[in-house]
Every structure is written in C-alpha cells, then in structure tokens.
Amino acid sequence: MSTQPATDAGPPARRGHAGHSLRQWFDTTPAPLPDGTSPDRIAWLRALPFAILHLACLGAIWTGVSPLDLLTAGTLYAVRMFALTGFYHRYFSHRSFRASRTVQFVFAVIGAACVQRGPLWWAAHHRHHHRHADTAADPHSPGVHGFLWSHMGWFLTPRAFRTNFERIPDLAQFPELRLLDRYDTLVPLLLALALYAAGALLQHVAPGLHTSGMQLLVWGFFISTAVLFHATVTINSLAHRFGSRRFDTGDDSRNNPLLALLTFGEGWHNNHHFFPGSARQGFRWWEIDLTWYGLKLMAAVGLVRDLKPVPLWVLARAGH
Ligand SMILES: [Zn+2]
Ligand SMILES: [Zn+2]
C-alpha cells in the first residue's frame, strides 16, 4: 500500500513508456514515471483502453440489435449507476450511511464493473474535489480547466492515476477493497467475458432471442459502459456549469433536474455541495432522487442502516 500523496508523481526512472503504461492497464501499483513524462499531461498509451471502449460501440453497426441486448444494456446501466451513486459516492466517499462488510464489498464489486477505477481511487479523488471545488487544486473544475478536461481529460494524467491513501484511511483498512483498487480491470474483464459467453450460449439454446456473443458484448458492455461513463461525469462537467444555485456554496455547483434523472439524483449537485453528509440529495419532495429511494428500500429490508437525513436547518434553507 502506498502512502504517497496524489500530487507526487514519483521520481523519474529509466523505464520504457510502453511497458509502464501496459503494466498499469492491469496492476495500478504506483511506479516511478518514465524519464521526461509530465505528470499533468494525458498518458495516451495508458488511455488506449478508454478510446477502445468508445470505438467498440461502433461494433453495433455490424452486430445489429435485439430487445434482449437493449434490456441487458439498460439493466446494467441502472444497476451500475446505483452502485456508483449509492455506494462509490454516498457511502464510500461521504459515509452517509452504514452497511455490513459484505454489502460494502458486493457494491464495491458492482461499482468496479463500471470501469471507473476502484472504490478507493474514486472516493479519494471525490473527497479532494469537495475540499477544493472549483479552485486550481480541483482537477475537474470546468470553470478552471475547461469543459473537455473536466469531462474526460483530467483522469488520464499520471498525477490523477494514483490513489491518495491519506484521504481514505477509513477505507484502506479493508484488504478486499485495496485488492479491487489495485487490479481495477479485473471485474470489468470478467463482466465482458460473462456477457460474451451468455450471448454465445443463447445464440445456440434460444435462437429466437436473436442475440450472439458479440452482440451482447457490444450492447451490454461497451455501449452501456460508455453511456454510464458520460452520464456520471456530467456531474463533474455540466453540473458545475448549467443549472440553478439554491445555496451560496462558494463553488460553481448547480441543481439540474435533467442531470438528476440521468444520474439517479446526483444532479441536485448544489444541494449536495452545500450539505454533502446527507444520504439524500433531492431536498424537496419534487426533487427526484432515485438513489435515495433505492437506499430507503435497502434500509427497509435491513441491507443498510443509519441513513443520514437532511438536517432541519438545511431543509428550512431549501424552502420547506
Ligand atoms: Zn462537485
Ligand atoms: Zn460528493
């Protein structure tokens, strides 16, 4: 386990750029940067799988589509979005409710299937964002760094690649979470393989479903994951630029109903920056927050507990 801060890109080393990037596709253990590499510029070779994720969506032109493919893509979007918003964000990053170690691990695995790195990396960067929102130290502020960088440039740099363990001592104590973080391509690869195998099997045993290994892989993995990615990062880019500001939070966070629908409640981002400790982000009854409803349901059946509410003084400020 490294305790180096994210701002330290490590000493230079005589090591090939290609070998360095290829190893980090599979094992994210911090390694010294190759000579002459800037920690703040996009590491293009390491970013190659991210480009392939997008290009592979074009495979749909050749594979075609069936209702089962769309259902699979939609279900995987919804389940993984809930894992991101409910657990990567509201649980791991903000500790806004409690869960058993088993539930914590299950949702960490589903979150890891989103191809947005491990839970420790995600939470460490998110805590950093809240502390420095829309200042030069915020790696994904659209106001400071521009829209494109805030949407999908910042996390492709060597500096942002590291997990800053100093921000997440509460999470780093779990070896199973550290393992997910270190080998963060493992779960996505298993999901892709499972989808291909399921599609290939169905092609033979249920040809009436009109799917195949390639078809289910393209829709269930590549398209679903690409849409999930872009929906998630709108909160970094668009929700810090477009929408209304109920609270004077000292940053550029906005409340945006469209983004809230797309991201299961995260679009109430000005609410969230004002009071990040609550498990609920829609503060008024009409502020639809699907993640909050899902968490209430999980609490009702005993899977999670102690959901932190929005305090009365905050509700009063929100216009109740
Ligand atoms: Zn924010
Ligand atoms: Zn947050």
Amino acid at 217: L
| CA distance linking residue 190 with residue 104, whole number of Å | 20
- How far does residue 211's CA lie from ligand 2's centre (Å)? 39
Contact 246, 271 (CB under 8 A): yes
* Residue 284 in domain: no
Tell whether 274 is covered by a domain.
Answer: no
Distance separating alpha carbons of residues 28 and 119, to the nearest angstrom: 13
Ligand nearest to the CA of residue 129, numbered in listed order: 1
Distance 270 CA to ligand 2 centre (A): 10
Q: Six-digit token pair at 282? A: 């829609």
CA 102 to ligand 2 centroid distance, Å: 23
pLDDT in tens, 65-92: 999 999 999 999 999 999 999 999 999 9
H-run or E-run covering 304: strand 304-305
**214-247: burial string, b at 16+ Cβ within 10 Å, e else:** bbbbbbbbbbbbbbbbebbbbbbbbbbbebeebb
**Tell me, what's the pLDDT at 119?**
97
CA 76 to chain CA centroid, Å, is 14
State in Å: Cα 133 to ligand 1 middle.
6
Whether 179 is in a domain gets the answer yes
Q: What is the pLDDT of residue 183?
A: 96
Q: How far, in Å, from the CA of 246 to the mean position of ligand 2?
A: 17
d(C-alpha 57, C-alpha 43), whole Å: 22
Q: State the pTM of this model.
A: 0.92
**CA 149 to ligand 1 centroid distance, Å:** 15
Picking from 29, 31, 1, 4, the residue whose alpha carbon sits closest to that of residue 17 is 31
> How far apart are the CA of 267 and the centre of ligand 1, in A?
10
Task: Give a yes or no: residue 254 inside a domain.
Answer: no
> Does the residue 292 lie in any domain?
no
pLDDT single digits (tens) 228-247: 999 999 999 999 999 999 99
- 112 within some domain: yes
**Residues 299, 291 contacting (CB under 8 angstroms):** no
Residue 318 lies in a domain: no
For the record, the structure tokens of 245 come out as 């500001």
H-assigned helices in the chain:
17-26, 48-55, 60-63, 67-82, 101-112, 119-132, 142-145, 147-152, 158-161, 169-172, 175-182, 186-205, 213-216, 224-233, 257-262, 269-274, 290-300, 312-317
Boundaries of domain holding 118: 52-245
Question: How many domains does one find in the chain?
Answer: 1
- Asked if residue 252 is part of any domain, the answer here is no
Question: Which amino acid is present at 45?
Answer: L
> How far does the centroid of ligand 1 lie from the alpha carbon of residue 281, in Å?
12
Distance from Cα 236 to the centre of ligand 2, integer Å: 10
State in Å: Cα 90 to ligand 2 middle: 7
pLDDT tens-digit series, residues 85-123 = 999 999 999 999 999 999 999 999 999 999 999 999 999
